[in-house]
Amino acid sequence: MIHPHCIQEMSAYTEGRERDREAGGIFLGSYRGAHIEITAITHPLRMDRRERFLFDRSDPGHQAAAKAAWTRSARTTTFTGEWHTHPEDIPAPSARDLQTWNGLLAKASEPLVFIILGWSGQWYGVGFRGRVYPAKPI
């Protein structure tokens, strides 16, 4: 489950001047049995690389936000995936996206959620055991 305010916050980066460069961040949430609950996101930060056809999440503030959430929640809120935008109506993962996600999955012990937002639609995926599967939001 993705809290509606998270979708609203991410969608702001597909409008107006924000749509000129890719944007992204991470998901913070909890694992509830077979379910993943996304309760917060990080936004693009100063040291991230934002270009027309590239978002590189390189600012250490994303990791710091995940660690702070983990500590504040008594170790129940954690990194649950990542999101970014694409400069197209209906997005699909690029080869670079899949390569980046495979690197994250190699280190993950739990499933991860991936979302790409386009101007008119979104792409959703869940990564588990080294593979990324297209998904539908609930």
Which among 56, 43, 39 has a CA at the least distance from the CA of 10? 43
Distance in angstroms (rounded) separating the CA atoms of residues 2 and 10: 11
Distance in angstroms (rounded) separating the CA atoms of residues 36 and 43: 20
Residues designated as active site? 22
Number of separate helices (H) and strands (E) present in the chain:
3, 8
